[in-house]
Amino acid sequence: MYTADYFVKNLNMIPHPEGGFYKESFVSRENISDRGLNVESEESRKLWSSIYFLLRDGEVSNFHRLKSDEMWYYHSGSSLTIYMINPEGELITEELGLNIEKGEKAQILVPKDYIFGSAMNNEGYALVGCMVFPGFEFKDFELFERDYLVEKYPNHKKVILKLTR
């Protein structure tokens, strides 16, 4: 039986600024310019990038936003809850996992410009993969403060308190 510690150690994962652990797994050999993309870059960027991401029992990935779509893939452990606030302010909740009959999905897309985070609401851990196009760069990453989100979306206060510091 695998454990969170097994994956953190054997995949050489490190703490992620949003919470949890990550390890870059693959990066495209190809580059792309910012022409036609919703991101700005002074030079070409990697076409795509992919990471392993892991949350342990009770951990969360704090609310953040990317300038690119991010596709999430379930790999191992318990299901993971992904919370998204779309640009219109609607809260969307998805379960990333393999119990399809209970509404879980093995893949979930987080569209660009959505504010999102995730939480381990079950015992154990969740090992997932995340792929971003164009390739992830921290300059496209925006981590949110609690007070700002509560003021902007007071009807989602309970989730915001859970997924912010």
pLDDT per residue as tens, the chain (165 positions): 799 999 999 999 999 988 899 999 988 888 877 655 555 556 677 888 999 999 999 999 999 999 889 999 999 999 999 999 999 999 999 999 999 999 999 999 999 999 999 999 999 999 999 999 888 888 888 999 999 999 999 999 999 999 998
The strand order across the sheet containing 60-66 reads 91-96, 80-85, 115-119, 60-66, 141-143
Q: Can you give the pTM of this predicted structure?
A: 0.90
For residue 139, what are the contacts with CB-CB under 8 A and spacing of at least 6?
none
Each domain of the chain, given as residue ranges in start order, spans: 4-163
Q: Which CATH architecture has domain 4-163?
A: Sandwich (2.60)
Q: Is the peptide bond before 15 cis (omega within 30 degrees of 0)?
A: no
